[in-house]
Amino acid sequence: APSQDRLALRLPAEYNERTPGCPFDPAAHQAELGAQGPVHQVTMGDGDPAWLVTGHDEARAVLADPRMSSDRFRSRRVLAKLPPELRARLTDESGRAGNFITMDPPEHTRYRKLLTGQFTVRRMRQLTPRVHEIVTQHLDAMIASGRSADLVRAFALPVPSLVICELLGVAYEDRAEFQERSSTLLRLNAPTDELLKASDELRAFMLGLVRAKRAEPTDDLLSGLIEAAPELTDDELIGISLLLLIAGHETTANMLALGTFALLEHPEELAKLRADPSLVEGAVEELLRYLSIVHLGPIRTTLEDVEIAGVAIPADSTVIISVPVANRDPRNYHHPDTLDVARPRPSHLAFGHGVHQCLGQQLARVEMVVGFTELLKRLPGLKLDLPAAEVPLRSDMLVYGVHSLPVTWDA
Ligand code: HEM
């Protein structure tokens, strides 16, 4: 069930709140903890203890530790807190099938290998010109429509959605329906019944897609998976497709929109990038580090008692990685709070680490490199169309970013 995390129990809202005027800095509460040490006992919204990891090396160690489970819903303690209809869905075999981001080895390993076999250099190379076309089509449409637009609606959200259509092989005539259904599913804080309904509709759509590829394979990831592993069931293929959609859409969209906002708010960095477009690949890594849009997670559950940086964490505990703070650990980065597009290729945890490290990171990089390059090239004089303080931030969402980004540009 793709909607699980947004409904699962969270830390109190103060852990996510950004300081007014500092939309790109980690939430003050997380940063304050980070200044005190690398691992912290905190209290979840329902009063249960959890542990927040803010140190870079400690975060990396947790993400590489086989005693840390990605299957949050194996824990009876966590399951007991969910609304019953959601609990039923999350434990139901068909709902769980293929959703390998929540599985541990060796179950996870099987899917991961199958998928790695599809995310090949050849497929990424084939997708690059399509990404380019999708990006330029959306910029053309924006330019044709006038002198201002909401960059989120006109560009950041549709581009990654169409790239996933390419990846999965969604037919052109079905793409509007696909985009509409997936945007419902990604809609903020929808009530459980609406999310379950949207997820059922998307599952039905994906079933149609899976059946079409079984009947008539084409040159896409879904057909490739069916060919490589004919034993995969419809439920597994639906689960895999939904995972790719959920993991690849909102993340990339928010990097594009929040990344643009950050560049506009750092005019010297933006000028450097405009002057030397060959900086874009490093700039993308720096934006990933600096913005760290996965801002409360990845989340793990301890399978046994563990000790991290001298802190004892009992079995069956929730461990939350603070990627924003870990990616600004002064032990690992010089001037960590500075956005420096010319920083030599910083390594970072924005794509996670360990066996679950982002499967789509090469594709995401292509989307961001092409997206930012074309955006800056085609929209000279790009600027915000409202005061920066009024840009609506996604502080309360699982993936940080902006709800909208009104911009204008020179004719
Ligand atoms: C996993 C971030 C784009 C597919 C992850 C994880 C992170 C992440 C932090 C690790 C989760 C964990 O350890 O629990 C991002 C960011 C992106 C991005 C910041 C954009 C800038 C994409 C794209 C795709 C994708 C474009 C696919 C089209 C996946 C999948 C996993 C994953 C399938 C699960 C891998 C596994 O469990 O083995 N991503 N992601 N991601 N990502 Fe991404």
**What CA–CA distance (Å, rounded) separates 265 from 361?**
26
Amino acid sitting at position 182: S
pLDDT above 50 for 377: yes
pLDDT in tens, 239-272: 999 999 989 999 999 999 999 999 999 999 999 9
Q: Which of 109, 291, 351 to mutate to test the pocket of ligand 1 (most atoms within 8 A of CB)?
A: 351
Residue nearest to atom 1 of ligand 1 (CA): 358
- pLDDT-above-70 percentage for the chain: 97
pLDDT score of 41 = 97
CA distance 8 to 292: 21
Nearest to 261 by CA among 138, 349, 383, 357: 383
Q: Rounded to an integer, what distance in angstroms lies between the CA atom of residue 27 and that of residue 235?
A: 38
Q: 106 CA to middle of ligand 1, Å?
A: 19
Mean pLDDT for 172-201 is 79
Is residue 222 within 8 A of residue 237, CB to CB? The reply is yes
Question: Of all atoms in ligand 1, which is nearest to the CA of residue 100?
Answer: 37
Q: Which of 358, 359, 367, 370 to mutate to test the pocket of ligand 1 (most atoms within 8 A of CB)?
A: 358
333 C-alpha to ligand 1 centroid (Å): 23
Task: Supply the ipTM of this predicted assembly.
Answer: 0.99
Mean pLDDT score of the chain, rounded to an integer? 92
Q: Are 222 and 241 in contact (CB under 8 A)?
A: yes
> Residue 189: its pLDDT value, please?
61
Q: Cβ(178)–Cβ(161) under 8 Å?
A: yes
- Reading the block at residue 128, the tokens are 């690059």
CA of 361 to the centre of ligand 1 (A): 7
Take atom 42 of ligand 1 and give the residue whose Cα is closest: 358
323 Cα nearest atom in ligand 1 = 9
Cα separation, 240 vs 167, whole angstroms: 12
Percent of the chain past pLDDT 90, that is, above it, reads 78
pTM: 0.95
CB 322 within 8 A of CB 52: yes
What is the spatial distance between Cα 207 and Cα 154, in angstroms, rounded to a whole number?
29
| Residue minimizing CA distance to atom 15 of ligand 1 | 351
Q: Which two tokens stand for residue 347?
A: 């390594």
Residue 132 and residue 370: Cα distance in Å, rounded?
6
Cβ–Cβ under 8 Å, residues 397 and 161: no
Q: How confident is the model at residue 2 (pLDDT cuts 50, 70, 90)?
A: very low
Distances (CA, A) of 67 to 10, 102, 204: 22, 14, 36
- pLDDT-wise least confident of 6-10, 89-93, 180-184: 6-10
Whole-number pLDDT of residue 78: 83
Is 60 exceeded by the pLDDT of residue 344? yes
Residue whose Cα lies nearest atom 3 of ligand 1: it is 248
More confident: 78 or 326 = 326
Q: Return the exposure string of 376-397: e unless at least 16 CB atoms fall within 10 Å of the residue's CB, then b.
A: beebeebebeeeeeebebbeeb
Pocket of ligand 1 (CB under 6 A): 70, 100-101, 112, 164, 167, 243-244, 247-248, 251-252, 255, 293-294, 298, 350-352, 356, 358-360, 363-364
Q: How far is the CA of 218 from the centre of ligand 1 (A)?
A: 25
Of 245, 244, 344, 346, whose CA–CA distance to 292 is shortest?
346
Q: What is the pLDDT of residue 190?
A: 67
- What's the confidence (pLDDT) of residue 151? 98
Q: For residue range 206-247, what is the model confidence (pLDDT) as tens digits?
A: 999 999 999 999 999 999 999 999 999 999 999 999 999 989
Which pair of tokens denotes residue 282?
Answer: 């490093």
pLDDT-based confidence at 4, cuts 50/70/90?
Answer: very low
Q: Could you identify the atom of ligand 1 that is nearest to the CA of residue 115? A: 33
Tell me the pLDDT band of 77, cut-offs 50, 70 and 90. Answer: confident
Mutation pick for ligand 1 pocket among 116, 165, 251 (CB with most ligand atoms within 8 Å): 251
